[in-house]
Structure 1
């Protein structure tokens, strides 16, 4: 909530030698600075202090509850979602900001917003009276007319009116919004009612005719608030998809074929959707435990300036190789991906530095943006953290998170190898240079601060020593603060509070997205559409399993387009993964298949969030950038199919099988990259590219016979290129 620019990353000049020599040790600065979203308010004075304190309290609440004082599960998740709603409506506007006082909304809109506080506040007061009646007054339940007219009606009216008003209510960026205050009170009222009811025996009546009618009103208001906050922090795509699913609940009985189902009443559906079947289910379970904890961990790393160090380390390690900034982008995005939970966020944090440098050494703006988008998307599949999707996978499948992280090693390595080869071959094809020695940080100076990797190493070690994810994340967070005390960026009390405040703010988007995805998951569970889709997929598999996998890929990408990774995977896992399991695919393989394509939706045209973010930095056409990033990340659209045909890719098999598959698949990735870039130790013809593609697929497939065939194809093409060039063969740079 500090006043910072939208693009805080800066770099030292690289046009010539940097003097004195000590200045070389820091090329990237500001990677860890908080990026202020275009629709986030910038408060000052008491408002800044208020929301800063709320964010700190919100982060501390999770740390204390997860580690010291446990809370009843549903109550904890309700507070988790409600806290994000309160912070979100306070910090993010529902409409564009006014340019100046003359552009602000008329005063009568403010007065109308103030009037809406009356019904919202009245509903909140009623929750207190209900709690007193149920806990101290001896009542077994609240009369339905009281819940309807003294709680439900004013709450729904205030929520709907305040959301509509917020869409046209404009104030300058430093001013709070009255309609958003109404929404904050409505969020508290909805959560307070659910806390009261869910801590009585009435909780068991959800989904039945005996359920209190107030559950329905609280769930409707809560769902509307979640959808509105998701629109503000994650765009319209997820909201539109959620609206389609919600419409299906009531329109499904009138649809033909396998989409038809008996139907659910408004009361029955909403009395269940705000339980562990939907909003309070698996997605919120993950966001309220693992995700929030690792967001706090990431905030502590940012506060100790580890992000700057990661990027500078990448420059020192890869900057001098041909096309150096592009390879820096790969390394930096992989490292930052461990502490950044979104593909587009990864692009913003590293791309503001690497994209201009890539253009400087000869990459077109389109290629520079595409490389950054593809590399940043790969950060979502990079162990040990792997973005939020891996935590949801562990929650859904029951497979220990540690096993999921290990299974991701080879696929993640193949993906980054693919991007690296694409970059290297394009650099060789265009004769690009690397960065000069005076343009990059000195490796030996950076090596002195290698202890900054300690929190990541402690996290990995704790996970493999058998600690729970919560305990491992807490240890890693504490170690980040301790390590900072021997670094140039010591974390005192103020820095720790800033990290907690940053974590509370950073968590808003992912919590809103997880809660919104929970609505979709609830629809899928309550209507049974997922089971019917599984039957359809099973029928397709009867014709061809490959066709069923292709169909599943298309659905996973389609569901993920325009959505953050977490929501994309949660929805696809509910719709597609059960069908894959039903056709005989192991749960780990099925979920990794879905997870990969949910992640890759970030670089898949026509809606590619990571590519669009990169295009905004490079200044190139967004659609053409997304096409280029799709080409660079092509391996990620082939490798998941091999999970089914070669489970050794996911560490399923003997050590010899896993080693052979890793080596031959890496060679296959190189052939695939050469085919795409039309460069294999020199230029190649069209027919050679076709043959290389066949050889690449044979090697990636993983069978012994196909591996031998792929190796033979690669060797034959190599000898042909050597004869045609009349030169001794070179080697692809691995610098």
Structure 2
């Protein structure tokens, strides 16, 4: 394959960490070094704690959140910065808030340093109460000044501005205070908090919401704000939403415990997410990830609609190690979308296909983005059982997307990429060993290693495998990979912490249990109606939110209700997980589809509607494994095999009905029959399968024999 059109080179240019866009800064000089050292140290800290020297749980999670905030405020500007132009900044407007915030944060930091010095160096205990009397208030005030200043004043593209220094210092101050009072906070938070506790924790919550706004947009922040408001508005709300309300000090301090921000979501982000993002960063730094894309080109590039099928394969491979649907779209779509447009796909279809395929990467084992880790944490089901259960539904989804793009290519006459522009299969097969890190990861998991140990072994194997490539990872390369890991982790750290706020409110107010009771009451009349309601709520909660946060919230609100209905926990959590994931391609707020539309240059809403159609099977698959858990590997092998086979035929017919192509152009009447046949085959019962096979044979006979003959007889 010629170097000028190499998919590897194009993919590398799209994913190169040096190619920055949006709100991410390109820091230079000493500020760049500070961020680099902080990022490398942050990831090394996690690897050491996870594998060598465990820390107390609260301590580890507090440091994890603080480090993510510190790096995030340094790396991501309050809004998209522009190159500096002389004379544009009006320093006289910034001077007063800058001085006020600096004095306040300096007082807070000084009080904290004095407290640690008195306790650890001088041995003064207890610490005089006056030392922290105004600490929380000054920390909160400096944060309240700095956050709006970031919105009001122009950020810089190549350096950290004063208000971000304030926020970085405030992030460390919050963690320092919590760690200093850790033993007491574990007993009094949410019960009998002090005023410094409340103001400090309120500052911490504001910091989390602001960094979430910067890295993930307003949707999750608005939802978190609504839940916080709900904590105070409960006495005035009707029906099952009503609760007695809470005092501000009890409410906010409760949120910063292991029932909220420091709970399951942060537990996952501080362990599995950081570890597997580091694994992904090492694969990216060694260009092994590029091999995945080229392998997909070699397998599917020449077939009709080749680039679209490459998107399906490559997004499945990359999605295993990529934490977000939209991130997966950007990583692989910057290559596949232009090629799809070049071979004849419309811009709208190109962006939609990539969005649907990339979203599927979040349900592809063994990594499944980060959702499987949260599911394991919440349910207590071993991770290996979860990834086995996820296999058939993921295969059904990707088979459906593959059929969709194949039928569209057949219907519109779209060809593949010429052989001369594709990688040579023989050369790629000689480098098949580059799949070793993924194989080692899967093997270690099923050999009984813990997820952390398996991930660490896979990480080490990625370094070793890189030595067999043109891009070996030496010391400098590994440091750069660690730096890239921290940058990639910031978004997920932020959204997990913000999701923790929502989970904390749900737990404190009990609204999740009351929602479960309502779902149970609906199920008494119709189980199907209850499932449709649960589906709608899961999708609604996930709109505009990253997968990790969407599932965490839906698992707290919807899954308990399904379990009360008598659904097995495995089935209930997979049900809400699927709909939380596919909210990324569900109009009107479809983040993955919007990312694809931005690359394709198409209209976002129409792209999201097309992505919805292409990913249609994902809306049916959860009902399939709800009624037939064999699709989650529950049951004997014969039942599992039969259900998988009939479900595969069902998604094939569903794609044929959606695209209007069934061994030739299908009329509307045939499409209706195909859709009905698909539902019969998908249901999995013997009677419906036999009826579906009969309809399938009838439709096939009509398409291959009767319809062409009828056209021939009526031709002039």
- Output the TM-score relative to the length of structure 2: 0.96
Aligned residue among 441, 450, 462 for 2:444? 462
Question: 1:460 aligns to what SS in structure 2?
Answer: helix
Judge conservation of contact 1:12–1:27 (CA < 8 Å) in 2.
no
* Structure 1 runs not aligned, ≥5 long: 1-9, 15-22, 728-735
Flag the 1:221–1:612 CA change in 2: closer, same or farther, 3 A.
same
Judge conservation of contact 1:32–1:306 (CA < 8 Å) in 2.
no
- Shift in Å, 1:43: 1.1
Judge conservation of contact 1:104–1:172 (CA < 8 Å) in 2.
no
- CA deviation map 1:343-380 (0-9, x unaligned): 11111111111111111111111111110000000000
- 1:192 equivalent to 2:184? Answer no
Rounded to whole Å, the distance in 1 between the matches of 2:246 and 2:254 is 11
Rounded to whole Å, the distance in 1 between the matches of 2:334 and 2:394 is 24
Rounded to whole Å, the distance in 1 between the matches of 2:452 and 2:304 is 42
Taking the TM superposition and a 5 Å limit, the aligned residue runs for 1:453-602 are 453-602=435-584
Rounded to whole Å, the distance in 2 between the matches of 1:710 and 1:31 is 45
Judge conservation of contact 1:101–1:172 (CA < 8 Å) in 2.
no
- Shift in Å, 1:287: 0.1
Flag the 1:37–1:75 CA change in 2: closer, same or farther, 3 A.
farther
Rounded to whole Å, the distance in 2 between the matches of 1:643 and 1:459 is 27
Flag the 1:142–1:595 CA change in 2: closer, same or farther, 3 A.
farther
State the partner residue of 2:306.
Answer: 324
Rounded to whole Å, the distance in 2 between the matches of 1:174 and 1:140 is 45
Rounded to whole Å, the distance in 2 between the matches of 1:25 and 1:441 is 9
Rounded to whole Å, the distance in 2 between the matches of 1:233 and 1:26 is 27
- 1:126 equivalent to 2:108? Answer no
Flag the 1:103–1:546 CA change in 2: closer, same or farther, 3 A.
farther
Aligned residue among 61, 64, 72 for 1:88? 72
- Shift in Å, 1:340: 1.1
Rounded to whole Å, the distance in 1 between the matches of 2:343 and 2:253 is 59
Taking the TM superposition and a 5 Å limit, the aligned residue runs for 1:250-261 are 250-261=232-243
State the partner residue of 2:401.
Answer: 419
Judge conservation of contact 1:284–1:511 (CA < 8 Å) in 2.
yes
Question: 2:105 aligns to what SS in structure 1?
Answer: helix
Taking the TM superposition and a 5 Å limit, the aligned residue runs for 1:647-686 are 647-686=629-668
- Shift in Å, 1:13: 4.9
- Shift in Å, 1:726: 4.6
Rounded to whole Å, the distance in 1 between the matches of 2:158 and 2:42 is 22
Aligned residue among 33, 55, 68 for 2:16? 33
Judge conservation of contact 1:541–1:547 (CA < 8 Å) in 2.
yes
Taking the TM superposition and a 5 Å limit, the aligned residue runs for 1:35-184 are 35-102=19-86, 104-111=88-95, 112-131=97-116, 139=125, 143=129, 147-149=132-134, 151-184=135-168
Taking the TM superposition and a 5 Å limit, the aligned residue runs for 1:295-334 are 295-334=277-316
- CA deviation map 1:371-404 (0-9, x unaligned): 0000000000010000011100000000011111
Normalized per residue, the structure richer in helix is: 2
Aligned residue among 705, 711, 715 for 1:723? 705
State the partner residue of 2:201.
Answer: 219
* Structure 2 runs not aligned, ≥5 long: 710-716
Question: 1:488 aligns to what SS in structure 2?
Answer: coil
Aligned residue among 387, 390, 395 for 2:369? 387
- Shift in Å, 1:707: 1.5
Rounded to whole Å, the distance in 2 between the matches of 1:29 and 1:508 is 21
- CA deviation map 1:391-433 (0-9, x unaligned): 0000000001111100000000000000000011111111121
Aligned residue among 331, 355, 360 for 1:378? 360
- 1:704 equivalent to 2:686? Answer yes
Flag the 1:555–1:141 CA change in 2: closer, same or farther, 3 A.
farther
Flag the 1:529–1:646 CA change in 2: closer, same or farther, 3 A.
same
- CA deviation map 1:226-271 (0-9, x unaligned): 0000000000000000000000001111111111101111011112
Rounded to whole Å, the distance in 2 between the matches of 1:24 and 1:526 is 51
Rounded to whole Å, the distance in 2 between the matches of 1:725 and 1:439 is 39
Rounded to whole Å, the distance in 1 between the matches of 2:313 and 2:295 is 9
Rounded to whole Å, the distance in 2 between the matches of 1:266 and 1:130 is 26
Rounded to whole Å, the distance in 2 between the matches of 1:79 and 1:435 is 49
Rounded to whole Å, the distance in 1 between the matches of 2:163 and 2:361 is 38
Judge conservation of contact 2:78–2:155 (CA < 8 Å) in 1.
no
State the partner residue of 1:208.
Answer: 191
State the partner residue of 1:6.
Answer: none
Question: 2:181 aligns to what SS in structure 1?
Answer: helix
Flag the 1:612–1:27 CA change in 2: closer, same or farther, 3 A.
closer
- Shift in Å, 1:110: 4.4
- Output the TM-score relative to the length of structure 1: 0.94
Rounded to whole Å, the distance in 1 between the matches of 2:8 and 2:203 is 53
Judge conservation of contact 1:369–1:617 (CA < 8 Å) in 2.
yes
- CA deviation map 1:541-568 (0-9, x unaligned): 1111110010011111111000000000
Once the two structures are overlaid, the 10-residue window that deviates more, 128-137 or 449-458, is 128-137
- Shift in Å, 1:32: 4.4
Rounded to whole Å, the distance in 2 between the matches of 1:576 and 1:103 is 54
Flag the 1:534–1:140 CA change in 2: closer, same or farther, 3 A.
farther
- Shift in Å, 1:37: 3.6
Flag the 1:606–1:27 CA change in 2: closer, same or farther, 3 A.
closer
- Shift in Å, 1:11: 9.1
